[in-house]
Amino acid sequence: MEFNGTLFAQYLILGVTNGALIALIALGYTLVYGIVELINFAHGEVFMMGAFLSLSAVSAFGLVSGAGWAQIALVSLVAMLAAMLFSGALNWSIDRVVYRRLRSAPRLAPLIAAIGISFILQGIGIYWKGSTTILPPNLIPTDIRSVNILTDWLGLETRIRFRALDLAVILLTVPLLIALSWLVYRTRTGKAMRAVAQDRGAAALMGIDVNRTIATAFLVGGILAGAAGFIVAYYTNTARFQMGFRYGLFAFTAAVLGGIGNLNGAVLGGLIIGLVWSMSDGFLQTYIPWWGAQWTPLIIFGVLVLVMVFKPTGLLGEAVPEKV
């Protein structure tokens, strides 16, 4: 059977966009794990809460149909910032109220607490927006949603769709990824975070406030999850109290795949999973008639298990030189 380049390119675009979003969430898992070695199972729900808050923020503006580009962009920006603040504050509070008290408890304690918080947040989500899938309030009109940059703006003769919506996702996500990398590798706060991740006691001897630094990691991870919440809600045009489960699971897998604790690894893992996801959901079907989206988790976790078997530290995770 002949290779369908157009279709491949189509799913490539979808995969990269989804991958960037997964990376945004994966970074929250990896940041927190890197610094306190805790898998924050509530992270997916922090993402969901961000999505929910952004919907409320958009409703509060009450956009009328026929709003112009500038107005849409402004409301989007405000809704996204609100979601970032909310999720950041939420994640920070969870650490402050729960995890900090369990810092020297057996490792199972914060892990179980995280699972508990995840269900509590789902409950709050149901109370807040109901238990069914909801349509986000009007923000991006349908005609704008379907604008194809390649044909409508560039006048190209192609059947590939690269929508303004896809571009917007990339334009919102990439600067956040760069900002995070700048924070962690170029600032004093970032240096403190890396120091605490490596040796908490030694970091304290340097004058670093360990609890505050850990709190910052939760705050930053939450901020990224909030941004992802807004973007996913409007990119997929749906929201649901369980949305944190699938995205959270894929993002966590991405973090592990790339090497948990490693920022570049989270981004790489996110892209890989985004691509595998879109190729499996759509592209493979054109070649394997019985293939369908229901097999996607099998492929994703198959890839994960393979990588774990051959490189247990993940793709970019390194065995740390611990010299005495």
Residues in the site for other proteins, rule: CB under 8 A?
A: 188, 191-192, 194-195, 198-199, 201-210, 320-324
- In the complex, least distance from residue 319 CB atom to other proteins, rounded to whole angstroms: 11
Question: CA-to-CA distance for 184 and 197, rounded, in angstroms?
Answer: 12
- In the complex, least distance from residue 193 CB atom to other proteins, rounded to whole angstroms: 11
Cβ-based nearer residue to other proteins, 24 or 192: 192
- Residue that the structure tokens 């990439």 belong to: 174
Cα 179 vs. chain centroid, distance in angstroms?
A: 15
Cα 93 vs. chain centroid, distance in angstroms?
A: 19
Cβ-based nearer residue to other proteins, 309 or 324: 324
Cα 152 vs. chain centroid, distance in angstroms?
A: 30
Q: Would you give the DSSP letter of residue 316?
A: S
- In the complex, least distance from residue 199 CB atom to other proteins, rounded to whole angstroms: 5
- Residue 172, token pair as written in the block: 């919102």
Cβ-based nearer residue to other proteins, 145 or 194: 194
- Residue that the structure tokens 């990691």 belong to: 217
- In the complex, least distance from residue 158 CB atom to other proteins, rounded to whole angstroms: 46
Cβ-based nearer residue to other proteins, 84 or 203: 203
Cβ-based nearer residue to other proteins, 55 or 196: 196
- In the complex, least distance from residue 321 CB atom to other proteins, rounded to whole angstroms: 4
Question: CA-to-CA distance for 138 and 226, rounded, in angstroms?
Answer: 19
In contact, 40 and 280? CB cutoff 8 Å: no
